[in-house]
Structure 1
């Protein structure tokens, strides 16, 4: 990897991203609840949490893929549009949890796609291929090659994207995102599926991006990667922000440990109180042990457990209980005679006479 090209002005100070009270509901399901977060210029912020905590949904709210039910998202003090392409044009770029490259296009062509928000030439200029368009095309190709050098992919510029190894496909996605010259880069699990060597290379790449003044907000499940890389870390649990701070603060918080190990502690976010599940059913609170033992109205508790006057059901196996036949007489339970004690054919069974028909 060569010296990083200039990705964003490194002289700006202040807040790049501000999310205030972002909430995202899907029908009766609240995926993100009242999450606020800021990212400063040149800062790397990590977003962690168990699977299903709402991390990617929060990313989608930031980039316009989802319109938040409540809350606002601002970039450099200006409220972001609800249209993804305008969010990118404003200066926010992202990668995805699942790689989304143009598989049948070359490495260079994939990066050039990311330059469309920075190309000033219009449709007629492109169709007529005038001098202005050709100049812009040369500039875009030069910039794309700089980014391929930056990510270590310049020697594969003419390779089809589908033929790249997995780790290089991840790098190509980052290069394409950087082609739009963002001030904020959002990375959704950039090291997923990578080996330790590829993970270290990705960490170095993100640090090089930050060195040029581009802020980074990253979702990741690799805790070593997050804690070695990020200036601050925010933890989402059940769609709510549980804690935010330095790596040391987050690692020492018992609630974070409980969120990953499944042990409830005081102060943990509870499940959303929406009465209806996504499948349309209504949540019912499970009775406590004390209630189950004393409340005879609970239909899930046998009457014998709550009413002393009600006899308990016998603990007899179902097949050993006599049941009335059609005439009202109980049938004796079927009992197989053990093979070693079978009655000889020429002798009547015990309790029967030989002349019984």
Structure 2
């Protein structure tokens, strides 16, 4: 018999919109993640996936809309979001390179310890007991991800795939009810990707709901109970893997085939530039990078060959004159 908690919402994002000046990176996105569920978030480059993640975790304050965790509206502060029960990893690895593997996981425990400054300075019985409990929990998590034997190694000396695992363990150290993973298999080989898939399933089996961004379509469709596709900051479609894979608009978005209302290369470049400016703190008037990642801006080999041939012909004519 299925219990009520098995399908109760953990995360509810309603009408989330994020604007950078006059640019809209995320537009009125609704998304629900239920307990015991793995939800995938896909979309071409510049679709607003990471911006949406940042709105969910308090790094950005949404221009419009609200985000709720287990029925409570979240404050737009990252540490308060983590304390509430949402943890995340980042697209780019953000480990403490000069700290050990164990110390990195212990950092993730800070929201679950109650000892203050005086307790830490005096190092009384309560502090020592809490410290021992945190170390025990951290070692359990390292055992869970298969890195207990490297607890004393510096994190910078770990192979890339193990650094990704360590980031997940550090996020889990805050005892979340929802884990957000931003491209967890980026840069991994097929064996590491399969191991990550097994790890995410094991995390779900521990009762932690998962929301994951990923560009590896085989990984995301094998993993997810539901998949939502963002295009130009708007949710294009949401459903099972089979439904999303078969949607012509999703196929068009990934193949670069224009569809009604599709963004152009210049629009995508402006959004990407605005996101980069927000992340680095540079003025929003900074020049937008070339939209080399968008299908519309990519030059085909045939076009390049044609241009080269045309230039060669012109050169020959000039020499003849």
Do the structures match in fold with TM over 0.5?
yes
**Aligned-pair RMSD on alpha carbons?**
2.6
Q: Which residue of 2 aligns with 1:236?
A: 230
Q: Which residue of 2 aligns with 1:191?
A: 185
Equivalent residues of 2:39, 2:210 under 8 A apart: yes
Q: Which residue of 1 aligns with 2:158?
A: 164
Higher helix share: 2
Structure 1 residue 269 displacement after superposition: 4.8
- Counterpart pick for 2:195 among 195, 201, 212: 201
Tell me whether 1:125 sits opposite 2:133 in the alignment: no
Structure 1 residue 337 displacement after superposition: 12
The alignment's TM-score, normalised by the length of structure 1, stands at: 0.73
Tell me whether 1:40 sits opposite 2:40 in the alignment: no
Which has more radius of gyration?
1
Q: Which residue of 2 aligns with 1:74?
A: 68
1:148-297 pair list within 5 angstroms = 148-266=142-260, 268-270=261-263
Q: Which residue of 2 aligns with 1:99?
A: 93
Structure 1 residue 212 displacement after superposition: 1.1
Structure 1 residue 270 displacement after superposition: 4.8
| Matched position secondary structure for 1:255 | helix
CA distance in 2, matches of 1:66, 1:153: 33
- Counterpart pick for 2:11 among 12, 17, 40: 17
CA distance in 2, matches of 1:269, 1:131: 62
CA distance in 2, matches of 1:107, 1:11: 34
Q: Which residue of 1 aligns with 2:302?
A: none
Instruction: Give CA deviations for 1:105-140 in whole Å, capped at 9, x if unaligned.
Output: 000000000000000111110110000000000000
CA distance in 1, matches of 2:285, 2:160: 40
Structure 1 residue 13 displacement after superposition: 4.7
Equivalent residues of 1:93, 1:184 under 8 A apart: yes
| Matched position secondary structure for 2:258 | coil
Instruction: Give CA deviations for 1:27-70 in whole Å, capped at 9, x if unaligned.
Output: 01110001010000010000000011000000000000000000
| Matched position secondary structure for 2:58 | coil
In structure 2, relative to structure 1, the CA distance for the partners of 1:153 and 1:11 (3 Å cut) is: farther
CA distance in 1, matches of 2:40, 2:158: 28
CA distance in 1, matches of 2:62, 2:262: 20
| Matched position secondary structure for 1:65 | coil
- Counterpart pick for 1:144 among 138, 143, 150: 138
Q: Which residue of 1 aligns with 2:311?
A: none
CA distance in 1, matches of 2:202, 2:6: 17
What are the ranges of 5 or more consecutive residues in structure 2 without an aligned counterpart?
275-283, 287-313
| Matched position secondary structure for 1:208 | helix
The alignment's TM-score, normalised by the length of structure 2, stands at: 0.81
In structure 2, relative to structure 1, the CA distance for the partners of 1:234 and 1:337 (3 Å cut) is: closer
Equivalent residues of 2:180, 2:212 under 8 A apart: yes
CA distance in 2, matches of 1:218, 1:258: 22
4+ long deviations beyond 3 Å = 10-13, 268-271, 277-281
- Counterpart pick for 1:116 among 97, 100, 110: 110
Equivalent residues of 1:240, 1:269 under 8 A apart: no
CA distance in 2, matches of 1:60, 1:114: 18
